[in-house]
Amino acid sequence: MVTAPLAGLSVVEGTAFVAAPSGGMTLAQLGADVIRFDQVGGGIDHRRWPLTADGVSLYWNGLNKGKRSLAVDLRDGEVTELLTELIAGAGNFLTNFPARGWMDPERLTTRSRELGHDDLVMVVVTGSHDGTTALDYTVNCAVGYPSLTGHPDDPRPVNNVVPAWDLVCGQMAATGLLAADRRRRLGGGGGLVTIALADVALATVGALGNLAEAQVNGTERDRVGNAIYGAFGRDFVTSDGRRAMVVAITAKQWSGLQAATGTADVVAALADELEVDLGDEGERYLVTDRLCALFEPWFAARTLTEVAAALDEHEVCWGPYRSVVQMVAEDPRASTENPLFAELDQPGVGRHLVPGSPLAFGGADAVDRGAMVAPRLGQHTEEILTGELGLSAGALGALVDRGAVALG
């Protein structure tokens, strides 16, 4: 049996929503023992949509796969001291809760040392760098991308359905924890790592050249619908009412598209007419509408199946537009044919596809990607309190009786 990459790493997680829980799940899928604590009865994200018909949160289950669950009353002083001991013993704490009170980094570090544990690593996810509140939705609207999204004939900004900044932030939080752990192993000690959701977005805007574009060029970029800025790519409608997104960035992709659609001669004629070099992706972008007018009749005369066969034959980079239901029904990548997935029975939900880690150690065909179900709320309360913390049955029973902890 192959040892998981993060086997032996222990992490305590006190989180909610997307960013921090997704970071903890990433660590769990790679083999870390991640213990998530929640308020008895469930925290603020325990019943977030989408839900099953019975009211079980598919969202919560989706972001907490592979973790152990501890249900406690976070208002109880004895409980918070137990959590402090748990964090000290694990040596790693990931949270997006306010870092104050018993979760104050300095207090946790001091108590950890008093309990005989040095070098606590604590990763705190915040909204903005100054501590003010921010969510993916309020960050995304502020960094300019909604004004670039949508069609040119509609001036309304368009938000992103995917909480992209949350997801990137979660992965960076996991990276930060692993980097701090490495520094500790090399003798640099533990410490506090903070990551602001807004900074993740701003850093990305900078990395993609958008900040420099605004400052240096001083221009507002136009929205281009489903076209790709600076290259050739757009959606086309097929004869059966489906849509295909086609991208031709490399020379091979561009020649393949012309070969598949039989348009090489008319494309060459257009290049002569406009006196442009269509071998250059930037120049292709500048005449996207004229090029699309050449390709549209070919797509409109064929079904999606016929389009797929021709584009695949010529190794064109493309993808069909699908609903999620269509994806599950049609795409073999969203099935157990893909080693990413296992079909597992999630308690309270039923049997469905569960992804593991997209990281395939040993190559793309690696079969164990760490696909696991999510725990029931409080499923591991007894195991953790009596095992990791050594509580007696009597002490545990007393906590249960007064509602300080709950067993799942």
Burial of 362 (0-12, 13-18, 19+ CB in 10 A): exposed
Annotated domain spans of the chain:
10-205+339-406, 243-320
User: 10-205+339-406 sits in which CATH class?
Assistant: alpha beta
The pLDDT value recorded for residue 391 is 98
pLDDT digits (tens, 9 = 90+) for 228-278: 999 999 999 999 999 999 999 999 999 999 999 999 999 999 999 999 999
Helix, strand, coil abundance in the chain, percent, nearest 5: 45, 15, 40
363 pLDDT tier (thresholds 50, 70, 90)? confident
166 is known as an active-site residue: yes
pLDDT tens digits along 170-193: 999 999 999 999 999 999 999 999
- In this predicted model, what pLDDT tens digit does every residue of 126-158 receive, in sequence order? 999 999 999 999 999 999 999 999 999 999 999
Q: Which band of pLDDT confidence, cut at 50, 70 and 90, is reported for residue 319?
A: very high
Q: Which of 73, 136, 166, 181 is catalytic?
A: 166
CA–CA dist 95, 108 (Å, integer): 13
| Of 64, 212, 98, 211, the residue nearest 144 (C-alpha) | 211
| 163: confidence class by pLDDT, cuts 50, 70, 90 | very high
Alpha-carbon distance of 98 to 130, in angstroms, equals 13
> What mean pLDDT comes out for the span 16-20?
98
Express as a percent the part of the chain with pLDDT over 70.
100
> 304-315: per-residue pLDDT in tens?
999 999 999 999
- Residue indicated by tokens 């970071």: 23
pLDDT for residue 2 is more than 80 = no
Q: Is the pLDDT of residue 302 over 70?
A: yes
pTM (2 d.p.): 0.96
Question: Residue 365 — very low, low, confident or very high, per pLDDT cuts 50/70/90?
Answer: confident
Instruction: Give dist(CA 316, CA 41) in Å, integer.
Output: 51
Using a pLDDT cut of 90, give the percent of the chain over it. 96
What was the pLDDT predicted at 243? 98
Task: Specify whether the CB–CB gap between 375 and 68 falls below 8 A.
Answer: yes
Whether the CB-CB separation of 399 and 384 falls below 8 Å is answered with no
Band of residue 1 on the pLDDT scale cut at 50, 70, 90: low
| C-beta of residue 243 within 8 angstroms of C-beta of residue 235 | yes
Residue 55 scores a pLDDT above 70: yes
CB 180 within 8 A of CB 193: yes
